[in-house]
């Protein structure tokens, strides 16, 4: 006799996945809807929908290995993580704390893998689960504490670099004066959030490249913050030059958004170059010596 909760047309092994998908949709579709009409429309967290799409793609990539993993549910740790995730979701949703609400995704995703398949499935899907962390909005206090020093140093470097090329440029704090124009180095241009989105790009790059050398991977990981910082400098320099040569309207209009694309392209190019250099360097170091007769 078929179960009352069985769905016609689905194999028994697929039934739990359907109910899991419906449960996740019931939990997070309202959260995504609210964020799409608020949080995700800001410059600081506009990258979150892209992170969600990438995370979905990453889960899709590991679907076959996870499905092939032995079924060995970890009831204790699975239910504990699920309870923690649901508690965080309820707290964040009711209190309006987006950081807590979206952080619950990591715990719930890990819990479901443990409950449905077991430890090996979680080990196979660890990176997609981890990647959800880049959807979590950073707390405002952390942003304020770290953004001001970042803006300060970027302003100094931008002014010093352009001064070397003869531009009439100066600064007062994070206010840059170039010619007749004044530009405020805003949080979105050089703050922690842009570095967070670039860290997401770097983590994805490292995962896709899949280098077997631990030293290679470690050096790429350590390069994420310096590359993100340098890319922000290039972005601010671009905006200053656009404003100086084409006027304030150009600097604040379409070209301002295009500078964000420049930011990502510069960071991606830097990751490719560094990866290539490390691959050549580590190969040369590990290559056995050639004995000639």
Q: Could you give the 3-state DSSP secondary structure of residue 64?
A: helix
Residue whose entry in the numeric block shows the structure tokens 């180095």? 185
* CA angle, residues 54, 55, 61, in degrees to nearest 5: 90
What is the Cα–Cα distance from 16 to 7, expressed in whole angstroms?
10
**Beta carbons within 8 Å of 179's beta carbon, 6+ residues apart:** 167, 168, 244
Looking at the chain, which runs of residues are DSSP E strands? 169-172, 175-178, 181-184
Decide if 115 contacts 79 (C-beta within 8 A): yes
Asked if 189 is an active-site residue, the reply is yes
The active-site residue, picked from 74, 214, 235, 280, is: 235
What is the Cα–Cα distance from 223 to 63, expressed in whole angstroms?
30
Q: Give the C-alpha distances (Å, rounded to integers) separating 132 from 12, 108, 222.
A: 29, 11, 20
The active-site residue, picked from 74, 93, 171, 189, is: 189
Q: Could you give the 3-state DSSP secondary structure of residue 182?
A: strand
CB neighbours of residue 282 within 10 Å:
15
Edge to edge, what strands does the sheet with 181-184 contain?
Answer: 169-172, 175-178, 181-184
Nearest to 176 by CA among 243, 130, 128, 117: 243
**Beta carbons within 8 Å of 22's beta carbon, 6+ residues apart:** none
CB neighbours of residue 123 within 10 Å:
12
CB neighbours of residue 289 within 10 Å:
5
Asked if 11 is an active-site residue, the reply is no
Tell me which residues are annotated as active site.
Answer: 189, 235
């Amino acid at each position: 006799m078929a179960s009352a909760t069985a769905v016609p047309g689905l194999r028994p092994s697929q039934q739990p996945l359907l109910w899991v998908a419906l449960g996740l949709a019931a939990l997070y579709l309202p959260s995504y809807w609210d964020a799409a009409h608020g949080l995700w429309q800001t410059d600081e967290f506009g990258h979150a929908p892209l992170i969600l799409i990438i995370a979905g793609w990453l889960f899709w990539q590991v679907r076959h290995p996870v499905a092939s993993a032995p079924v060995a549910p970890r009831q204790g740790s699975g239910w504990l993580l699920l309870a923690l995730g649901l508690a965080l979701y309820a707290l964040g949703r009711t209190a309006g704390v987006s950081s807590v609400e979206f952080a619950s995704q990591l715990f719930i995703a890990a819990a479901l893998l443990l409950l449905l398949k077991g430890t090996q499935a979680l080990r196979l899907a660890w990176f997609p689960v981890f990647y959800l962390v880049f959807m979590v909005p950073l707390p405002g206090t952390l942003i304020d504490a770290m953004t001001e020093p970042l803006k300060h140093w970027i302003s100094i470097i931008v002014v010093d670099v352009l001064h070397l090329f003869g531009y009439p440029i100066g600064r007062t704090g994070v206010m840059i004066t170039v010619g007749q124009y004044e530009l405020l180095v805003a949080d979105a241009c050089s703050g922690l959030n842009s570095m967070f989105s670039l860290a997401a790009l770097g983590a994805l790059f490292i995962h896709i490249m899949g280098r077997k050398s631990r030293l290679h991977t470690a050096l790429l990981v350590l390069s994420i913050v310096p590359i993100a910082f340098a890319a922000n400098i290039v972005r601010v320099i671009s905006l200053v030059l656009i404003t100086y040569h084409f006027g304030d309207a150009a600097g604040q209009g379409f070209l301002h958004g295009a500078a964000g694309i420049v930011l990502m392209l510069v960071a991606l190019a830097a990751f490719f170059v560094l990866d290539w250099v490390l691959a050549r360097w580590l190969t040369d170091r590990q290559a056995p010596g050639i004995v000639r007769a």
